[in-house]
């Protein structure tokens, strides 16, 4: 078995140390090593976006990032959005707008939407559709997801 590498990173604002095999993806470490199962695996080849996390301010498919690459980085996962005070506006909007059915793609969509709204709080429908094109949802037809992101922009103000 390949040797383990010590990695130090910041996940959802908390300094986190873990040991990873060089071949393990960030997704695998988040789920299997750190118990953060909110990040989902849909394809493991970067095509569905269910494993989207924010890495140093950019959204990435965590299945395409090696865990050892995150040394010294800042990672935000779905577990880092809600606080003790309540849900993040995007989460609130998804909940109220019925923007999920089975819910497996939802963490990825919410994190990807955060990646957009952090930079472009007034993104319009076309921009949102373009930004979220890397996230697949098979239940909703995207209609209510797009509406929820637009609603989240209002809630954030």
C-alpha pair distances (Å), 105 with each of 13, 19, 79: 24, 28, 14
Number of residues that bind another protein (CB under 8 A): 59
Residue in 11, 55, 67, 100 binding another protein, rule: CB under 8 A: 100
Residue in 82, 118, 120, 121 binding another protein, rule: CB under 8 A: 82
Name the region of 35 (left: φ>0; alpha: ψ -120 to 50; beta: rest).
left
Q: Does 140 bind another protein (CB under 8 A)?
A: yes
Smallest separation (angstroms) from another protein to the CB of 118: 18
Q: Does 35 bind another protein (CB under 8 A)?
A: yes
Q: Does 54 bind another protein (CB under 8 A)?
A: no
When the beta carbons of 12 and 72 are compared against another protein, the nearer one is 12
Q: Does 42 bind another protein (CB under 8 A)?
A: yes
Q: Does 66 bind another protein (CB under 8 A)?
A: no
Q: How far is the first Cα of the chain from the last one, in angstroms, to the nearest whole number?
A: 51
Residue in 21, 69, 73, 156 binding another protein, rule: CB under 8 A: 21
Residues that bind another protein (CB under 8 A): 1, 21, 23, 31-32, 35-45, 47-48, 50, 77-79, 81-82, 87, 91, 94-98, 100-107, 110, 128-130, 132-147
């Amino acid at each position: 078995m390949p040797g383990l590498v010590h990695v130090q990173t910041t996940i959802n604002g908390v300094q986190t140390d873990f040991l990873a095999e060089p071949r393990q993806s960030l997704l695998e470490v988040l789920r299997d090593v750190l118990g953060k199962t909110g990040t989902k695996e849909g394809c493991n080849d970067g095509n569905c976006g269910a494993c989207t996390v924010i890495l140093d301010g950019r959204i990435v498919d965590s299945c395409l990032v090696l865990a050892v690459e995150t040394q010294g980085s800042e990672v935000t996962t779905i577990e880092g959005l809600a606080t003790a005070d309540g849900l993040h506006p995007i989460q609130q909007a998804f909940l109220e707008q019925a923007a999920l059915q089975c819910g497996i793609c939802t963490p990825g969509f919410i994190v990807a939407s955060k990646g957009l709204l952090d930079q472009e709080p007034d993104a319009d429908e076309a921009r949102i559709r373009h930004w979220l094109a890397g996230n697949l949802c098979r239940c909703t037809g995207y209609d209510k997801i797009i509406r929820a992101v637009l609603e989240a922009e209002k809630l954030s103000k």
